[in-house]
Amino acid sequence: MERKEVNINEVSPMMREYLKTKSEYEDVILFYRLGDFYEMFFDDALTVSHELELTLTGKNAGLSERVPMCGVPHHSANIYIGKLLERGFKVAICEQVEDPKNAKGIVKREVVQVVSPGTITNTDLTNEKDNNYIASLIDYKYVYVLSYADILTGKIYTTYISRNDDKLISYLINLNIKELIVMNDFDKELKYSLKNNYNIFISTFDNLDSYNNKDIFFNISDDKLIRCTTLLLNYLEYSQRHVLEHLQRVEYVDSKLFLELDKECIRNLELVETLKNKDRVNSLLWFMDKTKTAMGSRLLKSYIISPSVDKDEIIRRQDLCKKLIEEFLIKSELSDLLYEIYDLERLTGKVSCGNVNAHDLIQLKNSIKVLPNINIILEKLELPLLEEFKELYELLDSSISESAGVTVKEGGIIKDGFNEEVDELRSIRKNGKDFISKFESEERERTGIKNLKIGYNKVFGYYIEISKGQLSSIKEEFNYERKQTISNCERFITPLLKEKENMILGAEERVNNLEYDLFCFIKDEIKKYIPSLQNVSAKIAYYDVIQSFASVAEANRFVRPIINNDNVIEIIEGRHPVVESVISSEYIPNDIIMDSNTNILIITGPNMSGKSTYMRELGIIVILNQIGSFVPAKKASLPIFDKIFTRIGASDDLTQGDSTFMVEMKESANALNNATENSLILFDELGRGTSTYDGMSLAGSIIEYISKKVKCKTLFSTHYHELTDMENMFSSIKNVHVSIDEKDGEITFLHKVMPGAVDKSYGINVAKLAGLPSTVIKRADELLLSYESKDDSKNVKVKQFELDFSETQDELREYIKTINPYEVTPIEAINILAEIKNKS
């Protein structure tokens, strides 16, 4: 049965209310609260039962047949909501908003929240080390405007992006935008690509009504930025169904203040995840993250994907890092104290979003408790102090029980002594329960029924339970009234038991309601501190990141880099920190020297020798310098770069239908068209995706273009040894090579970069190390000699490859088969070995 076929006037009153609510939320799964379950009906039930493998049942709704239904327990709903979000659905949560005991007719229900990938407020469904960004995007035909926010931290940003789809996609991917809000007239092809090729959840929303909180735009005056942010804010209020008081003032992101890294660069340098496994482990972020708080970890990631180009800001971070390294005992104390601080940013967000519980408030209290001790450290370091929130701490310490559970409507959250009425009701409840225990003993004594016991359930309240075998012992003077018969016993009540039940349950309900009211009062008091708590959270995150820099520098022999204005790169004994940390052998450090007149290093050497690592090493050191960290080297002096472009590794792009070579050319074009003389380009074996002469010609032309036109620092590795002659043609080009040790045809990788070029790739030697069959290696040597003997390789005519690897044609193998080792004398064995050597 489909919902569209149902006549709303023919269904039961409850189903009529459901259908009215569902008609307002056509594009979402509606979780409709009925008792202890969230139920889904009609097409929602069919979809959810299939997606989550739940049992599909039916419900009588006044129609000729039962309507499809499935449900999930309310206490475990978050698990199911998370799974639906992963599968690309939104969920609207419809709650009972009045007490069923007070309801006249159908219990009133309302949608209290629409949950989508970007509007999750339950921290169990998000990664605490990553922001959960939701964004709005408006296309002004000549420029994109993007606004984005993390609903839990309350931070909102807005920026311009040039009207280039590749740049837009890079921005969205780098920020890991979970959900994008666009208007109905947005480009359908781009929307399809973002959704299906890049797994960004797309929501269509058109409400541009003026936002009620004008102060949120205090730092923004541009109408386009305000309009796009308004779209985002209206969507957030639509999804949360209430005003979000913790949202901070919108910050404008000026892209000129940050080192520009596109998605390929972040991927190729493995800044936040590895190329192979898409895992955080073994990325630069993983290596650098010695933060103690979730806020610090998120801030560190934002630094790594958006390094600074502000020299003063970089030096400020380096100065503090240096101070913490020098004051290592104080740094250790600070690290220990930061470890005791919970996620203040998200805790304040949960307070505002309404899903905070008593356990969260205990975390908030324990975090505030540490602040005075942190201030002692900051005072020693001559740094600005943090607000300490003494009154808020006293309120939380005196009110919220340490043993409180996660639910807020079932009591047990308020401490004894905080509220007289709560204490009094608890006394009544306790005395009543003591009475029940005593009453059970007295009844056993009075009746002589030794297995008599007092029980309780929500339907019948308290009752006396007597087994079937003891029913004959019941006398009229006991004044027992039969209440229920079950298979092996009878249940009774008495006037006295009923009187005490009313007293106990009345006190239980009143104290639970009162505790909840007090909890809401405390929550409202916390809201007054939200801006100050957010300010303290930002400072803690900053100090946490810098202590992480100091810890990494101490443990890994990092040095403070010098920032120069001379366009000079001087890295002495530089290292790739992640590679060094994971390899079992000794890491070989290398120098990277480029004076003000040298713009391009052409790097030659065999595969597996370390060319790519050498290039990545420079990219990593540049990024570490510009986030304010020390760097892995013995000495380092660097300019400030504005952009980094990379082409490292071979890969195609199935989402765009592009071959490896096309991807290579697109990334090269992006670099050549957008790089400035202050940029850094890292090109690894460019041109290998096509024929030798095409590839060599393109590579040479690109090197020449960079040298003459772009004039930026470039590392260019290649196997086209002819390109090394360009050193003699351009003063800005230098050759370096990764050295090896060759002896008797065997090679050993030294991983040491030396001046000059090599004229050999050693590909066959590498293939031999990889374990290719000896016959293949031998034939490859023959072909190589044949190629190298020709002056013009275009005219080389190699005889047909006619190797036959069958056993009958393998002369050496056939000869060995004729030998019987049990009949061979020592002299004959020596002669046989000589013969084998001649045949091999």
Q: pLDDT by residue (tens digit) across 75-93?
A: 899 999 999 999 999 999 9
- Please state the rounded mean pLDDT for residues 307-323: 98
Report pLDDT for 713. 98
- Residue whose C-alpha is closest to residue 628's, from 378, 369, 313: 313
Q: How far apart are CA 469 and CA 795, in angstroms?
A: 108
Q: Which amino acid is at 804?
A: D
Residue 796 has pLDDT above 70, yes or no: no
pLDDT top residue among 784 and 60: 60
Q: How far apart are CA 85 and CA 77, in angstroms?
A: 12
Query: 581 pLDDT band (50/70/90 cuts)?
Result: very high
Q: Using CA atoms of 147, 151, 152, 158 in order, give the dihedral in degrees to the nearest 10.
A: 10
- Please state the rounded mean pLDDT for residues 267-275: 95
Beta strand residue intervals within 585-660, DSSP E: 590-594, 600-604, 635-638, 643-647
**Which tens digit of pLDDT belongs to each residue from 6-34?**
888 888 999 999 999 999 999 999 999 99
Residue 801 has pLDDT above 50, yes or no: no
pTM, two decimal places: 0.86
**Which tens digit of pLDDT belongs to each residue from 134-180?**
999 999 999 999 999 999 999 999 999 999 999 999 999 999 999 99
- Please state the rounded mean pLDDT for residues 103-127: 91
Strand partners, 136: 147, 181
Residue 785 has pLDDT above 90, yes or no: no
Q: Compute the half-sphere exposure of residue 340: CA atoms within 13 Å on the CB side of its CA.
A: 15
Q: How far apart are CA 616 and CA 647, in angstroms?
A: 10
In terms of Cβ atoms closer than 10 Å to its own Cβ (0-12, 13-18, 19+), residue 214 is: exposed
Using alpha carbons only, how large is the chain's radius of gyration in Å?
A: 36
Query: 667 pLDDT band (50/70/90 cuts)?
Result: confident
Strand partners, 753: 738
Q: Answer for the pair 249, 233: CB distance below 8 angstroms, yes or no.
A: no
- Residue whose C-alpha is closest to residue 639's, from 543, 546, 581, 712: 712
Range of weakest confidence among 188-197, 465-474, 604-613, 646-655? 646-655
**Which tens digit of pLDDT belongs to each residue from 214-245?**
899 999 999 999 999 999 999 999 999 888 99
Q: Which amino acid is at 241?
A: R
Scanning 642-691, the segments in alpha helix (DSSP H) are 660-674
pLDDT top residue among 667 and 259: 259
Report pLDDT for 651. 58
Sequence-separated (6 or more) residues with CB below 8 Å from residue 801? 779
Sequence-separated (6 or more) residues with CB below 8 Å from residue 300? 285, 288, 289, 291, 545, 548
- Residue whose C-alpha is closest to residue 833's, from 47, 9, 821, 563: 821
Strands 481-486 and 713-717: unpaired
- Map residue 688 onto helix, strand or coil: coil
Q: How far apart are CA 30 and CA 69, in angstroms?
A: 12
Residue 743 has pLDDT above 80, yes or no: no
Q: How many Cβ atoms are within 10 Å of 437's Cβ, its own excluded?
A: 9
Query: 790 pLDDT band (50/70/90 cuts)?
Result: low
Beta strand residue intervals within 290-336, DSSP E: none
Phi/psi region, residue 37 (left: phi>0; alpha: psi -120 to 50; beta: rest), is: beta
Residue 780 has pLDDT above 80, yes or no: no
Three-state SS letters, 243-265: CCCCCCCCEECCHHHECEECHHH
